[in-house]
Amino acid sequence: MPTSAVAPLIAELERESKATRKVLERVPREKLEWRPHPKSMSLGQLANHVAGIPGNIARMAQGEGFNAADRTGSYPQPEPGTDFAANLDVALEESRSILSQWDPETASGTWRLTAGEQEVFSMPRVEMIRSMLLNHWYHHRGQLTVYLRLLDVPVPAVYGRSADERPFG
């Protein structure tokens, strides 16, 4: 059973995964290399990133921190047949598994982001999950809905309605 500090985060992860799945299911496989700007991730890179965030960040949170100077390269371009929803399922399961094992001491332990020798920030691990997993996930999911709009793909309702879906009539 997850600690009281982590249980609400897992519940939010579960709720938000439904909207994320709807967005990922709309990604047109024939447009995975499209990008809105040369400095932007491609549609495929962004979709893959969104699908993987829960597992990647939960895995990162297990340690004492992360040195951004160790990050190499860019996000890989996925294959045309990539099943982003299936990748999301794997990432969610990994995230649930990691977070549900945290005791109060682990959840409140300090996690640090560094860049070389410089500390960028430090915060309790549970706050890192709020910021870097959930908020970061929402940010990129929002980007992905903009990509869909630019590609003239109907945007699913995420919170309330969209211009394309009116789930409440």
* pLDDT (average), residues 7-13: 95
pTM: 0.93
Longest dimension (CA), the chain: 54
How far apart are alpha carbons 72 and 150 in whole angstroms? 29
Give pLDDT tens digits for 17-27.
999 999 999 99
* pLDDT (average), residues 138-157: 97
The answer to whether 149 and 155 have CB atoms below 8 angstroms apart is: yes
Q: Which residues lie below 8 Å from residue 132, measured CB to CB, with a gap of 6+?
A: 57, 60, 61
Domain count, the chain: 1
Helix (H) or strand (E) holding 113: strand 110-115
Give pLDDT tens digits for 45-104.
999 999 999 999 999 999 999 999 888 778 899 998 999 999 999 999 999 999 999 999
Domain presence at residue 161:
no
Domain presence at residue 158:
no
Candidates 71, 73, 69, 72; CA nearest to 118 is 69
Packed helices 43-61 and 84-100: angle between N→C axes, nearest 10 degrees: 10
Range of the domain at 20: 7-150
Provide the pLDDT for residue 1.
56
Confidence of residue 167 (pLDDT cuts 50, 70, 90): confident
Domain presence at residue 135:
yes
Alpha-carbon Rg for the chain in angstroms: 17
For residue 3, is pLDDT > 80?
no
Helices within the chain (DSSP H only): 7-25, 43-61, 84-100, 104-108, 125-128, 136-150
Give pLDDT tens digits for 125-145.
999 999 999 999 999 999 999
Domain presence at residue 159:
no
Higher local confidence (pLDDT), 73 or 7: 7
Domain presence at residue 51:
yes
Confidence of residue 165 (pLDDT cuts 50, 70, 90): confident
Q: Which residues lie below 8 Å from residue 73, measured CB to CB, with a gap of 6+?
A: none
How far apart are alpha carbons 75 and 81 in whole angstroms? 17
Domain presence at residue 111:
yes
How far apart are alpha carbons 8 and 6 in whole angstroms? 6
| CATH number of the domain to which 114 belongs | 1.20.120.450
